[in-house]
Amino acid sequence: MSKATNQQATEQFESMFVAPARSFGALNLDYTEKLVAAQFDAIRALADMGMAQARGLLDVRDAESLKAAVETQQKASQDMGERLRGDAERIMSLSQEYVQQSQKLAEDGIKAATTAAK
């Protein structure tokens, strides 16, 4: 095998297998990082809300403070529901973006393989 042939084979291997695998790996890593960050944000926010509510219940001393605590609980439940809905939409958006980028990488890989085969 000549040096030129060996170089050409190496370049073909790089362009057909290594580069697409690297791109897909980078996409997976980026998606995972964003997904984990979104989940940590959601957990932190929900934990903070829960702790605030628990602290609020500790301040109940009479009927008036109980009424205020119950009203705060209701508001917190609404806020938590809205937060969960927003977090779900954020994760869905990340997933849709990931699928679109994965499809583009696959299409690019197929085009590159088709071109190389010709």
Q: DSSP letter string over the chain?
A: --HHHHHHHHHHHIIIIIHHHHHHHHHHHHHHHHHHHHHHHHHHHHHHHHHHHHHHHHT--SHHHHHHHHHHHHHHHHHHHHHHHHHHHHHHHHHHHHHHHHHHHHHHHHHHHHHHH-
User: In this predicted structure, what is the pLDDT of residue 27?
Assistant: 93
User: In this predicted structure, what is the pLDDT of residue 47?
Assistant: 94
Residuewise pLDDT in 10s, the chain (118 residues)? 577 777 877 777 777 778 888 889 999 999 999 999 999 999 999 999 999 999 988 988 999 988 999 999 999 999 999 999 999 999 999 999 999 999 998 888 888 777 766 6
- In this prediction the pTM is 0.74
